[in-house]
């Protein structure tokens, strides 16, 4: 049998789960406790994120409900537009096109369209169809622009 250590390692384990093993909501001050210091910023990030207390509240941002289908389509289409080099980066700098990843993002939207066929409202279906059309046309235009041989 392994020997038991009586020495303190300096670590404290606190169970912060909201529910017990029996599935009953726990009472206590676990929700009220705040970390003493914010986590250090990621060294890979070019700009440090705002501390939690400085971030706008969800209500202040105008978000009124859960993420919907249109938000997913918007997110993926914006990602594809960045990858196509059609949108400026966070600092306003021009981003070179990444046609391989842009094609993959457009393909993801096509899979989403295929897998949700028959389960979308008319507006959702039309939104997805229009977004895919615009992204496909933009992809072809960018591809032609960067693959043309100089005369």
SS3 call for 25: strand
pLDDT digits (tens, 9 = 90+) for 50-82: 565 555 555 555 555 668 899 999 999 999 999
SS3 call for 19: strand
pLDDT digits (tens, 9 = 90+) for 75-116: 999 999 999 999 988 888 888 999 999 999 999 999 999 999
CB atoms within 10 A of CB 146: 11
Domain positions in the chain: 69-147
Mean pLDDT for 122-135 is: 94
The DSSP letter of residue 27 is: P
Global pTM value: 0.55
Dist. CA 106–CA 15, nearest whole Å: 43
């Amino acid at each position: 049998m392994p020997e038991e250590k009586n020495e303190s390692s300096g670590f404290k384990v606190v169970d912060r789960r909201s529910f017990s093993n029996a599935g009953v909501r726990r009472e206590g001050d676990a929700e009220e406790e705040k970390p003493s210091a914010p986590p250090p910023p990621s060294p890979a990030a070019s700009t440090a994120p705002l501390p939690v207390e400085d971030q706008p509240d969800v209500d202040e941002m105008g978000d009124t409900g859960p993420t919907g289908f249109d938000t997913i389509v918007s997110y993926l289409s914006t990602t594809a537009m960045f990858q196509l080099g059609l949108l400026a980066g966070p600092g306003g700098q021009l981003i070179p096109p990444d046609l391989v990843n842009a094609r993959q993002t457009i393909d993801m939207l096509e899979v989403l369209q295929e897998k949700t066929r028959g389960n979308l409202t008319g507006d959702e279906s039309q939104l997805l169809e229009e977004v895919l059309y615009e992204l496909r046309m933009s992809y072809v235009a960018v591809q032609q622009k960067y693959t043309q041989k100089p005369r």
